[in-house]
Amino acid sequence: DDMYIAIILIDSDTGSVINAFQKSINDSLSTSDLELASAVSIYPNPATDKFNIAFDASNANYAITVTDMLGRTVLAQQHKNLSGNNTIEISTNQFSAGQYIVTIATGNASYSKRLVISK
């Protein structure tokens, strides 16, 4: 059986659908996803002028993506050949106040967390 997560953004004034997103959830969570999740910390949350992503890297390439609640990419960074303890500081200057999804990915593992930016 196919299983999906559906997210629908509805305008509370007009009742019209602003945006919709559907994602298949047939794949189970991998051990790599769980290991990455336990190794990542995003702080402070909520953030004002900057936030940090701290993680233990294992000599790999990492992609960091920040998306808004409409699924638009606000920030995308590539970090190559990282190993050991890493802390990446990201300025919130280009972000409006609101909620975002921060995703860190490497190889076949990824981890996402909600981040609130208040200004």
3-state SS record for 38-72: HHEEEECCCECCEEEEEEEEEEEEEEEEEEECCCC
Give me the residue spans of the domains in the chain.
28-117
Considering only residues 105 and 36, tell me which one the structure prediction assigns the higher pLDDT.
Answer: 105
- Asked whether the whole model's pTM tops 0.75, one would answer no
Q: Tell me the per-residue pLDDT of 54-74, one tens digit each, with 9 for 90 and over.
A: 988 888 899 999 999 888 899
Average per-residue pLDDT for the chain: 82
pLDDT of residue 36: 57
Element (H, E) at 24: strand 17-24
d(CA 77, CA 87): 14
pLDDT grade for 39, boundaries at 50, 70 and 90: confident
Q: Tell me the per-residue pLDDT of 81-109, one tens digit each, with 9 for 90 and over.
A: 998 899 999 999 999 999 999 999 888 78
Calculate mean pLDDT across residues 4-32: 66
**What CATH number should be reported for the domain whose range is 28-117?**
2.60.40.3080
